[in-house]
Structure 1
Amino acid sequence: MSTLLSLRNLTRRYGGNIAVNDVGFDVAEGEILGIMGANGAGKTTLFAMIAGNVVPSSGQILLDGQAVQGLPPERINALGVSRTFQIVRPFPSMTVLENATVAAMYGRRQTKSPALAREQAMAVLEETGLADRAHLPASQLNLAGRKRLEIARALATGPRVLLLDEVLAGLNATEVEAALDLIRAVRERHKLSIVIIEHVMKALMRLSDRIVVLHEGRKVVEGLPAEVANDPRVIKAYLGEQRHAHPA
């Protein structure tokens, strides 16, 4: 598989605080890469830099070989990078379909025809299991529904790279399984590269092809899920803390 997204020595400083420190990794076409780390590890700042919401202090972000760091979010979105947010942000007074239709008119697709945008939006609602709620106000969706709408809106832009920020958080076990099935299906159907931040560790291990672990802004481990789960640095920096906090 060829590389689609590359991070090179990416750093973000806020005054004397270094939120992300010299992080680099590649994401292949069609790969699901998991990002794990404790709160404050730099995960969300990393996503914000990739999506253009935050400008890196130094380093490079390459999309299909093209440097995109520092470009505005709408330009990066138009090049094929779309993200969801940890705190879901639908337009609450608009219907589910209207939310997805607006997304279809931006991003890589740049659909100018309202009728075509609506058709594309309905297709992603079918795919994400929201078609039967298309005409409900987005405010009437439960948490699982709002998270699916976040994914639907991201898909409606026609991405090549999908950044998923804690789309499993707050879901029950049944909803988590359904969300994992959806993410796998989306990857296969659209041949997407997916980068996912998640605190539901068992689910992340099952879903990801590879995992990158961040600790205090630095990448400490990168590898296959089984390798990462058994790495002493991960156990000490992250998994061990969880086990200590939640004894069996």
Structure 2
Amino acid sequence: MTSRPARDGDVLTATGISKSFGGVRALRDVGLTVSPGTICALIGPNGAGKTTLVNVLTGVYTQDAGDITFKGQDIGRTGADRRARAGMVRTFQRVRLFPQLSVLENVLAGQWSRRPFGGRPAATKERALRELEEFGLLKHAHRSPAGLTFADCRRVELVRCLLGDPALILLDEPAAGMNPEEAQRFVEHVAEVQRERDLTILLIEHNMNVVMSLASWIYVLDFGQLIAAGTPGEVRRDERVIKAYLGAGE
């Protein structure tokens, strides 16, 4: 199983990605492509290798084999900091906000991923406040994130990503821990923001309602291998996907 063929202008292309930890083969010959202005999803049972792949794509891990191209440039051996400065930003499975900083200060940290030694502080702060207002978070701007709901913390993370003017956002399990109502509101907000700003997103998610609502193209991993790729309708009907999820008890 391979990803769809790469095209000129793709934001992200990964081919032949393999990664082992000791004697454990976490990824085997995995490939994917992400086109500009789209939401692609990466799904699979627990232990399928999804987060390992995200860590390889973002430079946390170095692949044992394979190539990664971002905005037409080979980044396969560059560090996570350089990939962030190039416009690849991410969230994590577990919320990662600075509890000692205010919500506004957490959001402002996002611009440092792209402009660590420059920028216009006053204009950036003004923009951050506008973003917080759009996401319904302005009233929390000067509070610690420790008092926020889980869903609000996820929104703060997304605003922080947006402040870095990303070329690609990788959302790692953003709906994890949300109840169905919170997840639905999150889907609606992400869809609206993505459409209005023509964002490019790679979504890693277990919640199939979220995936099917947002993604136009889905990649499916199982035991470190890509077993299916296609539209939501195609993936939903794929016997290999059904078997993988049923076999995982999902």
Pairwise CA distance, 1:99: 0.5
Structure 1: unaligned runs, 5 residues or longer:
none
After TM superposition, list the pairs within 5 Å mapping 1:1-248 onto structure 2: 2-107=9-114, 111-238=118-245, 240-241=246-247, 245=249
Aligned-pair RMSD on alpha carbons? 1.7
Distance 2:82 2:131 in 1: 22
Change (3 A) 1:110 1:154: farther
Q: Deviations over 1:64-102 (max 9, x none)?
A: 211111211111011110000010010011110010112
The amino acid that maps onto 2:89 is S
Between the two structures, name the one with larger relative contact order (CA 8 Å, sep ≥ 6). 2
The answer to whether the 8 A contact 1:4-1:27 is kept is: yes
Deviation at 1:112?
2.6
Deviations 1:21-45 (A, max 9, x none): 1111111101111111011111001
- The 1:179–1:111 alpha-carbon spacing in structure 2 relative to 1, beyond 3 Å, is farther
Provide the TM-score with structure 2 as the length reference. 0.92
How big is each residue's C-alpha offset from its partner over 1:209-243, in whole Å with a ceiling of 9 and x where there is no partner?
011000000000000101101111011111x236x
Structure 2 CA distance for partners of 1:128 and 1:193, relative to 1, 3 Å: same
Q: Structure 2 stretches of 5 or more lacking a match? A: 1-6
Aligned residue pairs: how many?
Answer: 243
Which has the higher mean CA deviation after the structures are superposed, 31-40 or 129-138? 129-138
Give the SS at the match of 2:113.
coil
Structure 2: distance between partners of 1:193 and 1:204: 15
- C-alpha displacement of 1:126: 2.4
Identity %: 37
Amino acid of the residue matched to residue 236 of structure 1? K
Q: Kindly provide the amino acid, as one letter, of the partner of residue 148 in structure 1.
A: R
Q: Secondary structure at the match of 2:11?
A: strand
> Alpha-carbon deviation of 1:104?
1.7
Instruction: Give the Cα separation in 2 of the matches to 1:206 and 1:146.
Output: 22
Q: Which segment is superposed worse, 215-224 or 125-134?
A: 125-134
